[in-house]
Amino acid sequence: MRWKQRFDNMALGGKFRAIGMLTTAIALAISSAVWLVADLRTEMNGVLREASASADLIATQSTAALTFRDRNAARDVLSSFEVNRDIVTAAVLLPDGAVYARFDREPALKAPIDLGQVPAAGTWHAFGRDSMRIAKPIVLGGERLGAVFVRMDMTPLETRWRGSP
């Protein structure tokens, strides 16, 4: 109650200044929070676009490998993602969900593919604390040949957001 007593003892001009400063501080806090949320959303949409483009590339390049059952060709397509440090896992899945070919940035860590969440049709994505996952169907001539699964590392975004170097 000390602040209330101080406020009651202020001159009218001081009260107006205090109210103005408090209003300005609240407006600044709200606008900063809105800006931070908008910035995070923009960054997450960027990661989603990058992952979606990677999944589209895998899907396009994997149609021949799936059509002719050439597992080595599918692995070659996936191995091209060694240059993208943000891709942790990429996989070509058969229509039944079995892994046909797989790329893991760190093979010893081989994180499981969330097969229960991969839809039978359409695109699916989900953001986790440290990764973003996306699955897209591989279609050729209207026939679904399988699906693509990509897991991207969100650590750079988290590090940037927390302000760490």
Domain, as residue range, for 53: 33-162
Burial pattern 19-58, b for ≥16 Cβ within 10 A else e, equals eeeeeeeeeeeeeeeeeeeeeeeeeeeebeebbeebbebb
Inside any domain, residue 9: no
Residue 2 lies in a domain: no
- Residue 86 banded pLDDT, cuts 50, 70, 90: confident
Q: Does 67 map to a domain?
A: yes
For residue 63, the model assigns a pLDDT of 92
* Position with higher pLDDT, 33 vs 158: 33
Tokens in use for 89? Answer: 């896992």
Please report whether residue 106 resides in a domain: yes
**CATH code of the domain covering residue 110:** 3.30.450.20
Confidence of residue 4 (pLDDT cuts 50, 70, 90): confident
| Number of domains within the chain | 1
Is there a domain that residue 98 lies in? yes
**Residue 79 counted as domain residue:** yes
| Rounded Cα–Cα distance for residues 154 and 31 (Å) | 25
Residue 19 lies in a domain: no
Stated pTM of the model:
0.75
What's the confidence (pLDDT) of residue 74? 94
Residues 6+ apart with CB under 8 A from 72: none
Q: Does some domain include residue 143?
A: yes
